[in-house]
C-alpha cells in the first residue's frame, strides 16, 4: 500500500466526452506526475505538477490538462475523448528533491472509451 489513491478505479466514456480523474498524494508529497499506460505498453509520461505548477510535460496534446491543489492532490482532465485514450492512467507522488527513489504509484484508473 503506497498511500497514493486514485479514483475512480474504472470508468467508461463515449468518444467526444470529457473525463476527470483524481489522485490523492501520499502524505507530505508535493509533486505529482501522471502516466498513460495502453494495454501491453509501458507507461507514457503525461505531465508533472510541483506546488500547483506544471513543471514537465510529455508528448501529449493540450486536451490533456491537469491541476494540483494546495493539499497536493491532483486532477487529470481529458477533453474530446478519442478511442485511443482507452488506457490505464497512473498517478505517482513524490517529494521534490528525492528523485525517483521516492516515487510511489497509485493503482490507476482504467478508462474505456467507446
Partner 1 sequence: KQEVTQIPAALSVPEGENLVLNCSFTDSAIYNLQWFRQDPGKGLTSLLLIQSSQREQTSGRLNASLDKSSGRSTLYIAASQPGDSATYLCAVWGALVTFGKGTKLSVIP
Contact residues: partner 1, CB under 8 A: 2, 4, 33, 35, 40-45, 56, 58, 88, 90, 92, 99-101, 103-108, 110
Residue 32 CB, shortest distance to partner 1, in Å, is 14
Which CB, 95 or 103, lies closer to partner 1? 103
Residue 16 CB, shortest distance to partner 1, in Å, is 26
Residue 108 CB, shortest distance to partner 1, in Å, is 5
Whats the size of the chain, residue-wise? 114
Which CB, 64 or 104, lies closer to partner 1? 104
Cα–Cα distance, 74 to 4 (Å, whole number): 11
Which CB, 30 or 44, lies closer to partner 1? 44
Cα–Cα distance, 54 to 88 (Å, whole number): 21
In angstroms, how far is CA 113 from the centroid of its own chain?
Answer: 17
Amino acid at each position: 500500500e503506497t498511500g497514493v489513491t486514485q479514483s475512480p478505479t474504472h470508468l467508461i466514456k463515449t468518444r467526444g466526452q470529457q473525463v476527470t480523474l483524481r489522485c490523492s498524494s501520499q502524505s507530505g508529497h508535493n509533486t505529482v506526475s501522471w502516466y498513460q499506460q495502453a494495454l501491453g505498453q509501458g507507461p507514457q509520461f503525461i505531465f508533472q505538477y510541483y506546488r500547483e505548477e506544471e513543471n514537465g510535460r510529455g508528448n501529449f496534446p493540450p486536451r490533456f490538462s491537469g491541476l494540483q491543489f494546495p493539499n497536493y492532490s491532483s486532477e487529470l482532465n481529458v477533453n474530446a475523448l478519442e478511442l485511443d485514450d482507452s488506457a490505464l492512467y497512473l498517478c505517482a507522488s513524490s517529494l521534490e528533491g528525492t528523485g525517483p527513489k521516492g516515487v510511489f504509484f497509485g493503482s490507476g484508473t482504467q478508462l474505456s472509451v467507446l
